[in-house]
Amino acid sequence: MSHTAPQQALYNEKIVVETEGNDGIDRNEKRNGHESEVTDESFANPTGINEKALVRKLDWKLLPALTLLYLLSFLDRSNIGNAKLDGLTTSLNITGNQYLLTLTIYFIGYVLFEVPCNIILKRTTPKIWLPTLMLLWGIVATLMGVSANYAGFLAARFFLGVTESGLFPGVVFYLSMWYKRTETHYRVALFFSAASLAGAFGGILAYGIGFMDGVGKLKGWRWIFIIEGLLTVVVSLLAYFFIHNYPSTAPFLTEPERSFVHARLKSSTDATNTEPFTWANVRAAFGDYKCWLYSLGFHTMSLPLYTLSLFFPTIISALGYKAATAQLLTVPPYAFATVLTVIVAILAEKTHKRAPFILFSSSFAIIGYIILLATPHNKPGISYLGTFFAAGGIYPSTAIVLSWPAANVSGQTKRATATAMTITIGNLGAVLGTQLYRPATSPRWFLGHGFALGYLVANLVVIGTLWICLEKENREKKRREESGEVGDEVLKNDEDVSRTCLSAGWHLRLSNAAMTGHAIPYVASSEKSNPGSDLTIWLDHVNLVRLVGATALGSSPVIVGNPYIALTTAGDVDAWAKITALIKLPTADFNIVTP
């Protein structure tokens, strides 16, 4: 930005930061004899676009397709449990320990290749990379059905983990490029509901496919992998047409809608910023204790999650049910879990709380494992009831845990690192879990159920600790905001300015005579981390008029006062303007997080 003298001094006044009440009205603000209120419509919809309708449009265009991808992904990784009941281990002469290794090696491939897959996503496009991943894992899943021996099956499981590793973290990143930060975690939770839905769908498919035993001289377990793998391949080919890249090129959006999506992302996230990679931001994630708590939160859920999804058919069968019946009996608990996952995600979104719902859901699952451990083997109905509690608690809790960092960790590099930490550390719990349900512990499964119960109790401790820490930080932020404290520190590059300003109710205030006492809502994004760095501010038409009066907005910057403010129209969004001002804000310690 130029630091030359202003060519046209419309106002020669200082800009300061002010706070307001929670209702959106500054109690000291009066103009023309009445309080001035800026509505969401005037602020968020400068082009006349209905924002809620636009978000619903994004939901319908994006979420069903992504959920289908994850449903098939979870189906292809967990159908090994259904195949085991239909004779997998007998046909390939796989021992109990060898079977456990086939489960473990999947997660080794997953953990090793998660980061490389995400790097490829950033170097290519979602429209190309996500369907390609799906095509590859569909081929691998199909090949598991034609494996001739244990070694071939083991290799296929490893490469299944490799090819599926980029989907979940890739989709989380992808959604962050479409939705505001406060909207993303709700979509991630809904997206994850496909995991429990896959369990229900897999049980029904396995039951039906089991009757194909002998067709084409192939065992029923082979048909499970072949049919479900080929289904994935077919959907992957279609996905090249229904997966979109980013808002700027989305064919289902009009040009004004694309510009508006860009503006709302600019106002609330760092998705539109170009943040250079620095090891300092990577270290910032590793040095933030909250990132470790997020990771441990998923770690303590991944063991019960994957032990249930991988061993559920075996657990049901050990209660005394035949294989076909056991396949069907897995469906109701999974369906119950799907409904609860969606309900809990909606409630968490409505209340803007995460920790209480995780604690409740994990406690619900704890009840299930207590029932499973305490019930005698001769009462299978009661044990089966316990599986409803277990599944109904594990899946909603995991969905919220996985979506939490996306809402609270700021800075692209730091957030990407935190996400990788969460999934990598989390899946180490799954690696351990795959070794717990040993044949010798059947039918009570004390070892596996005991570890799952212990991990869920540990989850209560981790989430409770995180909740206390976040609430403590928020109270301190609120205290500083109410006291009007403004630090001299420059806002760091890895912090979210817009959530700082909007969540804390901060406003830009002009102190000249005409505007005295008039707070102007704004949204902002830090683009540099050096002292005195530029701060990009977006004002809607209503507040822009309040700032510059009747001054016409042309393509040439209008220079305003001290500090110098460059004012330009915001591209295709005619009613918005971008202001770049040399001002300082408090540190992002004011950034309100979601407890």
> 447-459: per-residue pLDDT in tens?
999 999 999 999 9
pLDDT category of residue 334 using cuts at 50, 70 and 90: very high
Kindly report each contact of residues 5-10 with a partner whose C-beta sits within 8 Å and lies 24 or more positions away, as own/partner: 6/559, 6/560, 6/561, 6/562, 6/564, 7/559, 8/558, 8/559, 9/559, 9/560, 9/561, 10/548, 10/549, 10/551, 10/558, 10/560, 10/561
From the list 325, 332, 309, 89, the residue with the least C-alpha distance to 207 is 325
Res. 175: pLDDT tops 90: no
173 C-beta neighbours (distance < 10 Å), count: 21
The pTM assigned to this predicted structure is 0.72
What per-residue string of b and e applies to 495-508 under the rule 16 or more CB within 10 Å gives b?
Answer: bbbbbbbbbbbbbb
Kindly report each contact of residues 41-46 with a partner whose C-beta sits within 8 Å and lies 24 or more positions away, as own/partner: 42/540, 42/541, 42/542, 42/543, 43/521, 43/540, 43/542, 43/543, 44/264, 44/540, 46/540, 46/541, 46/573, 46/575, 46/576
Residue 590, burial from CB neighbour count under 10 angstroms (0-12, 13-18, 19+): buried
The CATH number, out of the four listed (1.20.20.10, 3.40.120.10, 1.20.1250.20, 3.10.20.30), of the domain defined by the range 283-483: 1.20.1250.20
CA–CA gap between residue 508 and residue 230 (Å, rounded): 57
Over pLDDT 70: what percentage of the chain? 70
Res. 513: pLDDT tops 80: no
388-398 pLDDT, tens digit per residue, is 999 999 999 99
Q: What mean pLDDT is reported for the chain?
A: 74
pLDDT category of residue 277 using cuts at 50, 70 and 90: low
Between 342 and 404, the higher pLDDT residue:
342
pLDDT category of residue 595 using cuts at 50, 70 and 90: low
Quick one: how far is CA 150 from the chain centroid? 36
Omega of the bond prior to 563 within 30 degrees of 0, cis?
yes
Q: How confident is the model over 324-333, as a mean pLDDT?
A: 92
Contact 355, 466 (CB under 8 A): yes
Between 393 and 185, the higher pLDDT residue:
393
5-55 pLDDT, tens digit per residue, is 222 222 223 222 222 333 322 323 333 333 333 233 333 444 567 888 899
Res. 4: pLDDT tops 90: no
564 φ, ψ (degrees, to nearest 5): -70, 135
pLDDT category of residue 267 using cuts at 50, 70 and 90: low
325 C-beta neighbours (distance < 10 Å), count: 12
pLDDT category of residue 271 using cuts at 50, 70 and 90: low
Q: Per-domain residue ranges for the chain?
A: 15-37+487-590, 51-273, 283-483
Q: How many alpha carbons fall within 13 Å on the CB side of residue 532?
A: 5
Residue 308, burial from CB neighbour count under 10 angstroms (0-12, 13-18, 19+): buried
User: What confidence score (pLDDT) does residue 538 get?
Assistant: 44
User: What confidence score (pLDDT) does residue 276 get?
Assistant: 60
Omega of the bond prior to 443 within 30 degrees of 0, cis?
yes
Q: What is the DSSP letter of 7?
A: S
User: What confidence score (pLDDT) does residue 590 get?
Assistant: 30
How would you classify the pairing of strands 523-526 and 506-510? unpaired
282 C-beta neighbours (distance < 10 Å), count: 16
Q: What is the largest CA-CA distance in the chain?
A: 89
Q: Which two tokens stand for residue 438?
A: 């040993």
Res. 324: pLDDT tops 70: yes
From the list 299, 292, 286, the residue with the least C-alpha distance to 459 is 299
Res. 582: pLDDT tops 80: no
CA–CA gap between residue 354 and residue 375 (Å, rounded): 32
Architecture of domain 51-273: Up-down Bundle (1.20)
From the list 108, 119, 125, 121, the residue with the least C-alpha distance to 161 is 108
Which residues neighbour 150 within 8 Å (Cβ) at sequence distance 6 or greater? 92, 93, 94, 98
343-360 pLDDT, tens digit per residue, is 999 998 888 888 999 999
Q: Do domains 51-273 and 283-483 have the same CATH topology?
A: yes
Highest mean pLDDT: which range of 259-263, 273-277, 290-294, 480-484: 290-294
User: What confidence score (pLDDT) does residue 356 get?
Assistant: 94
Highest mean pLDDT: which range of 100-104, 498-502, 538-542: 100-104
Q: How confident is the model over 235-250, as a mean pLDDT?
A: 91
